[in-house]
Amino acid sequence: MSESSQNKVDFYGRDYLVSPDVLIPRPETEMMVDTVLNLVGKPFLPGIKPSKAELPENLTIVDVGTGSGCIAVTLKLLLPQAKVVATDISDKALGVAKKNASALGAEVEFLQSDLLDDVRIKPDLIVANLPYVDENWEWVDKEALSKEPALALYAKDGGLELIFKLIDQAVEQEVYHLVLEADPCQHERIVQYAKEKDLTLGETRGFSLYFSE
């Protein structure tokens, strides 16, 4: 695809290249970044009192389902001491994410993986905005979404199949800090599922949920 047929979209104050291979970054996803910054005691907005840091600034973060790379790149630029690994099952999405990291000067590592299957490091924190739209939701404008890859949007089991699988894998690998995005109508089920895995809800911020031990 030529550069002219690609677009740029703002995320957390920076322009990201997008193509038909990636989800267009959404404003609600910026709240996942806010949540991570608060976890390390570094709120982005002036005037917000830093919370007690639950995690160190030099933490290792894995962004699962990175798409355009918007979350991973933003976190690496705002937390330069952190190691940030961005994964996606889609090779084409990773291509776009790599371009964004390079254009914005973010040293992010990239890895193709189905969820955590090929992730060999143990992160301190997982962030994931995975597909969570259920194909049967009648209130979704499918026509509008048809310009984005189905792989980035849809999941089975009320949209929660991949989120639940990721929670299972994280707990198996003893990773107990997770920031996840889902539609608010799904939060109750996710909180219940995480509770069964001994994870506790730390905070809800818009679409994002933070779980810890």
CA distances from 14 to 105, 119, 140, 208 (A): 12, 28, 28, 20
- Are the C-beta atoms of residues 195 and 166 closer than 8 Å to each other? no
Shortest approach of ligand SAM to residue 90 CB, angstroms?
A: 4
Give the residue with the Cβ less far from ligand SAM, 38 or 90. 90
> Which of 145, 181, 151 lies closest to 63, judged by CA?
181
x-or-dash string of contact with ligand SAM, 153-182, rule CB under 6 A:
---------x--------------------
Report the nearest approach of ligand SAM to the CB of residue 55 (Å). 20
Distance CA(134)–CA(157), nearest Å, equals 7
Site for ligand SAM in 86-115 (CB under 6 A): 87-90, 93, 114-115
- Report yes or no: 187 and 163 within 8 Å, Cβ to Cβ: no
Site string for ligand SAM, 10-39 (x = CB under 6 A): ------------xx-x---x----------
- Inter-axis angle of helices 70-78 and 30-39, nearest 10: 30
Distance CA 102, CA 85 (A): 14
Select 28 or 57, whichever has its Cβ closest to ligand SAM: 28
Write out the residues near ligand SAM by the rule CB under 6 A: 22-23, 25, 29, 64-68, 70-71, 87-90, 93, 114-115, 129-131, 151-152, 162
